Structure 1
Amino acid sequence: MPVHRSESSRGGHGKGAGLGLALASAVAFGGSGVAAKPLIEAGLDPLHVVWLRVAGAALVMLPVAVRHRALLRRRPVLLVGFGLLAVAGVQACYFAALSRIPVGVALLVEYLAPGLVLGWVRFVQRRPVTRAAALGVVLAVGGLACVVEIWSGLGFDALGLLLALGAACCQVGYFVLSDQGSDAGEDAPDPLGVIAYGLLIGALVLTAVARPWTMDWTVLTGTARMDGDPVPAGLLLAWIVLVATVLAYVTGVLSVRRLSPQVAGVVACLEAVIATVLAWVLLGEHLSAPQIVGGAVVLVGAFIAQSSAPGKGTGVPVAGGPAGAESGLPARETAA
């Protein structure tokens, strides 16, 4: 969907504010896995953590949904698709992956999404992509091979990697859906409204899947272990809902309104670095030297693929990371 920017927002002050908001969004999204993993290790099912995150964020964004209730009549397919893929699918797969593989690895696997989007554009939509974008995809795949140490027979849990890849595939569906109606001009749906209804629909879907009435609610009244140190579980949940979801999405949207989707997506590449560093400092998750190098190559590949992708005038989606942006909507881990 289009991003309308005033002349003042194109100025230096507007760009500086936009970069600050994009960085804040990357930090907020990057901290989701670090806060969620202790809750999972404390006894909560990954799906229950996802439900708590999405349902809590949907409750916070409920006033926004009421304000944009006309979207239910104008864009029902977009809202359902966004809720199923960008919210429920990405979050469920990513959090399930966290229970089996390190936070940094799970997030880096999700960075295959830009390459998968370009593959969709090239082979399904049969639109041309630049050689630089293709090079970025090759680099991302090669870096990922180093991250998972493919020469040692996949040192990480195979199911965990498949779940992370599922999150990346859900992001592809999100990018494709987000491109629908991007040339509608003033009639384009408001991105905040789409996010609010996406969270509500995602919460409804996850309620049926996660069955929160079977959750061990006592875990939330106790403490979780973060690299051996006790942390109140309620505090971790508050961070996931308010910071890693609501604040992350809102700052992502506002940053795109001040920047182009390409620039916001490039800044969002920092999310993987932030998540890996936080997991190292707070969770004690260490990566080997080849994995660190591979992660850097993944980020470089994502940077090249996103920054060299055609602009909105071509109708080709510009892929951001889990906290990136396309057509004015922040991508989600990502809802972790």
Structure 2
Amino acid sequence: MPVRTSQISQGRPGKGVGLGLALVSAVAFGGSGVAAKPLIEAGLDPLHVVWLRASGAALVMLPLAVRHRALLRDRPALLAGFGLLAVAGVQACYFAAISRVPVGVALLIEYLAPALVLGWVRFVQRRPVTRAAALGVVLAVGGLACVVEVWSGLGFDVLGLVLALGAACCQVGYFVLSDQGGDAGEAAPDPLGVIAHGLLIGAAVLTVVARPWSMDWSVLAHSAHMNGASVPAAALLLWLVLVATVVAYVTGVLSVRRLSPQVAGVVACLEAVIATVLAWVLLGEHLSAPQVAGGALVLLGAFIAQSSAPAKGSAEPVASGGPERELSARGTAA
């Protein structure tokens, strides 16, 4: 029996709505750092914060998982891939990477994902991409190098770099798997159901990795410090769960359905800019001139990439693709 799609995924609105959703997702994901850092400084292990984030979001989305339980029978590979890559893989690899290499280096390598998505489209799917989309990726990655000031930390560790690259590959999986079934009409897997089951699977995997039974739960009963201000730790966790995870994943997946993995991936680079600005405002981590210039380059790259591609359904063989798109037909391979 075909899985019914939610109304929000049936509308197939234009590129403008998809771009707006991608921006909301970038803001939501970008706000995770300013909430997680005070919790970590208050005494929580980074992996414990990730587990709390994923598990809390999984509980919020549990009713949707029950409603779309038919997905477990119809699309088990998609759900497993989303949970392992888009939820558990990205988080675990990134936090493991920053324990061995500078945060700026790990973040830049992770956000090579848009370039890797273009490589997937060009060499795996064998579809052409526009020069403008490729230029947008180059500008966005170059801008990210300035935003994170990659030159400020050169303590490279081979394993750390491999883990950061693993986070980038998992993020490619997030964009590619989010697009699965976008053109399948009534037979398309419901995006909210995919997210709900993915969060449940990701939380289960992270439970093994993070071992939450060793966590200092008392930290959540006290306050954490944010740039000199005292903020309840529970409020920060609530933000991480509801906004930085539930809202971020829902708007992110829906934006990929309306744009394309490669265009949405470039727009997602704004997350690093947003995270840096929020850290400036809320944590007192000031921006330097190169970071401001880098943020402008990321914005320019995202604009070039999304403006170079027509809305879904166009026959032009460009970055966003047209009816020849094959992502839905390659669910097993993905």
**TM-score under structure 1 normalisation?**
0.78
Q: Which residue of structure 2 lines up, in the alignment, with residue 293 of structure 1? A: 293
Of 305, 310, 315, which aligns to 2:325?
315
SS at match of 1:224: strand
Output one character per residue of 1:197-238: Cα deviation in whole Å (capped at 9) or x when no partner: 000000110011111001111111122221232221111111
Distance 1:37 1:157 in 2: 22
Alignment length, in residue pairs? 307
Q: Which residue of structure 1 lines up, in the alignment, with residue 277 of structure 2? A: 277
Is the contact made by 1:112 and 1:140 (CA closer than 8 Å) also made in structure 2? no
Distance 1:65 1:157 in 2: 43
Is the contact made by 1:46 and 1:92 (CA closer than 8 Å) also made in structure 2? no
Q: Specify every segment of 5 or more residues in structure 2 that has no aligned partner in the other structure, as ranges.
A: 309-318, 328-334
Distance 2:51 2:183 in 1: 33
Alignment of 1:89-100 (within 5 A): 89-96=89-96
Q: Which residue of structure 1 lines up, in the alignment, with residue 75 of structure 2? A: 75
Output one character per residue of 1:277-329: Cα deviation in whole Å (capped at 9) or x when no partner: 11101112223212331233234224433443233423266xxxxxxxxxxxx
> Which one is further off, 118-127 or 92-101?
92-101
Q: Which residue of structure 2 lines up, in the alignment, with residue 328 of structure 1? A: none
Distance 2:196 2:127 in 1: 32
Q: Which residue of structure 2 lines up, in the alignment, with residue 247 of structure 1? A: 247
* Change in 2 beyond 3 A, CA 1:196/1:112: same
Distance 1:124 1:256 in 2: 19
- Cα-Cα RMSD: 3.3
Q: Among the aligned pairs, what percent are the same residue?
A: 79
Is 1:5 the counterpart of 2:3 in the alignment? no
Distance 2:303 2:172 in 1: 17
Is the contact made by 1:23 and 1:267 (CA closer than 8 Å) also made in structure 2? yes
Is the contact made by 1:108 and 1:298 (CA closer than 8 Å) also made in structure 2? no
SS at match of 2:173: helix
Q: Specify every segment of 5 or more residues in structure 1 that has no aligned partner in the other structure, as ranges.
A: 318-336
Q: Which residue of structure 1 lines up, in the alignment, with residue 153 of structure 2? A: 155
Distance 1:226 1:97 in 2: 24
Distance 2:72 2:207 in 1: 20
Distance 2:322 2:78 in 1: 19
Q: Which residue of structure 2 lines up, in the alignment, with residue 127 of structure 1? A: 127
SS at match of 2:189: coil
**Amino acid in the other structure paired with 2:92:** A
SS at match of 1:126: coil
**Amino acid in the other structure paired with 1:200:** L
Is the contact made by 2:84 and 2:201 (CA closer than 8 Å) also made in structure 1? yes
Distance 1:49 1:85 in 2: 18
* Change in 2 beyond 3 A, CA 1:166/1:305: farther
Distance 1:242 1:282 in 2: 19
Distance 2:186 2:307 in 1: 26
Tell me by how many angstroms 1:93 deviates.
3.2
Distance 1:164 1:287 in 2: 24
Q: Which residue of structure 2 lines up, in the alignment, with residue 208 of structure 1? A: 208
Is the contact made by 2:114 and 2:265 (CA closer than 8 Å) also made in structure 1? no
Alignment of 1:47-196 (within 5 A): 47-96=47-96, 109-147=109-147, 149=149, 152=151, 154-155=152-153, 158=156, 164-196=164-196
SS at match of 2:120: helix
**Amino acid in the other structure paired with 2:321:** G
Output one character per residue of 1:2-28: Cα deviation in whole Å (capped at 9) or x when no partner: 95217xx66xxx967x77655544332
Distance 2:23 2:30 in 1: 10
SS at match of 2:10: coil
* Change in 2 beyond 3 A, CA 1:161/1:227: farther
* Change in 2 beyond 3 A, CA 1:238/1:230: same
Is the contact made by 2:34 and 2:275 (CA closer than 8 Å) also made in structure 1? yes
Distance 1:256 1:310 in 2: 10
Tell me by how many angstroms 1:125 deviates.
3.2
Is the contact made by 1:87 and 1:199 (CA closer than 8 Å) also made in structure 2? yes
* Change in 2 beyond 3 A, CA 1:166/1:275: same
Alignment of 1:319-334 (within 5 A): none
Is the contact made by 2:175 and 2:253 (CA closer than 8 Å) also made in structure 1? no
Is the contact made by 1:148 and 1:156 (CA closer than 8 Å) also made in structure 2? no
SS at match of 2:323: helix
